[in-house]
Amino acid sequence: MWAWIAIYAALGAAGTWLARAYALHRRMIDEPGERRSHSVATPRGGGIAIVAALLIATVAVGVRFPSHAPLAAAFGLGLVLIAGIGWIDDHRPLSPWLRLGVHAAAAALLGVAVGTIHGEAWLGLATFALAIGLTNVWNFMDGINGLAASQAALVALALAWLGGPVWSWLALALAAACLGFLPFNFPRARIFMGDVGSGAIGYAAAGLAALAASGLGSRSALLLWPLAAFMVDAGLTLLSRVRRGERWWTPHTQHAYQAWARRIGHTRVTLAYGAFTLLAVVSLRYVTEVRTGFILGMGAAWYMSGAFFWWLIRQAEPRDRD
């Protein structure tokens, strides 16, 4: 196991170094602006390293476990679609509706594969919804140093524990690749993940959660606990923008993590979000064998606590920013 982790951490680090050199050569630079949370021009596209490492791991899992190769193939093809449209968008901006269409196609591909192979229509529909949702949630939440990668690593660790003897290897590869990327992005960002990484990581987290759910049955709600920090911030911020009649699909800096970062800095916010998610991951150890009703109740309470913290952070902001 440790050799596996070391390999994918090394791939993540080496790939990020190469991606940074490429981004500087191609002038793929995110400039500061009022709709961004950084103040220094920074190259983007470093997430391609995480995607490449995860694709290698997907092939390795498919070869090592031939009976699971069709699911691994569907997962890998969807990952290529998500990362591919993000990579193009990192080079030249695309229509958000075109990107959403590709996201939906990748999510549908994975949903059909999961539902068909496991013979559970509800699982296929849940996979589709989660995949298209988390793909965009991770994109929305990738706005300050280290946040998206650190949250992905923590979520992947939880999925490695709950994913069973096959998919846990893929989750460990995701966690390791994110850890290899992090030194380039936190606490000081020398490269950003870019759409190629943020969307693909969200899709990967959704796919691994769906695959883990097939073995958890009625305890599948546990998989939502480590996602609370991102789900609450992205969901409530989106709802507040829709309620105000804003163009919710356009870039903005209204998320709670962005408002908080303006006051206390990127590093403290990333660590605070990490502590919140780490507590959820650790809590899973003590509730895996309890009744479903207790799991649902505790999960609802955890999301409500996240919503309360979101409200506190937003209340402290002097005024909303577009």
Q: For 233-279, how does the pLDDT look when each residue is reduced to its tens digit (9 = 90+)?
A: 999 999 999 999 888 878 788 899 999 999 999 999 999 999 999 99
Beta partners for residue 29, in sequence order: 43
pLDDT at 181: 98
Which pTM does this prediction carry?
A: 0.93
Cβ pair 280, 226 in contact under 8 A: yes
pLDDT at 320: 46
CA-to-CA distance for 184 and 190, rounded, in angstroms? 5
pLDDT at 34: 62
C-alpha to C-alpha distances, 281 to 65, 180, 208, nearest whole angstrom: 27, 21, 15
Beta partners for residue 42, in sequence order: 30
CA-to-CA distance for 314 and 244, rounded, in angstroms? 15
In total, how many domains does the chain have?
1
Check residue 189 and report its DSSP letter. Answer: -
Beta partners for residue 43, in sequence order: 29
CA-to-CA distance for 145 and 270, rounded, in angstroms? 7
Please check whether residue 322 lies inside any domain of the structure: no
pLDDT at 118: 87
Cβ pair 241, 186 in contact under 8 A: no
pLDDT at 322: 45
CA-to-CA distance for 194 and 196, rounded, in angstroms? 5
Please check whether residue 310 lies inside any domain of the structure: yes
Name the stretches of the chain with pLDDT < 70: 33-39, 318-322
Who's near 206: CB < 8 A, 6+ residues apart?
A: 107, 110, 127, 130, 131, 133, 134, 135
Please check whether residue 321 lies inside any domain of the structure: no
Amino acid found at 312: L
Domain that holds residue 186: 2-316
Please check whether residue 305 lies inside any domain of the structure: yes
CA-to-CA distance for 294 and 292, rounded, in angstroms? 5
Count how many residues are written for the chain: 322
Please check whether residue 292 lies inside any domain of the structure: yes
Please check whether residue 45 lies inside any domain of the structure: yes
pLDDT at 36: 64
Please check whether residue 89 lies inside any domain of the structure: yes
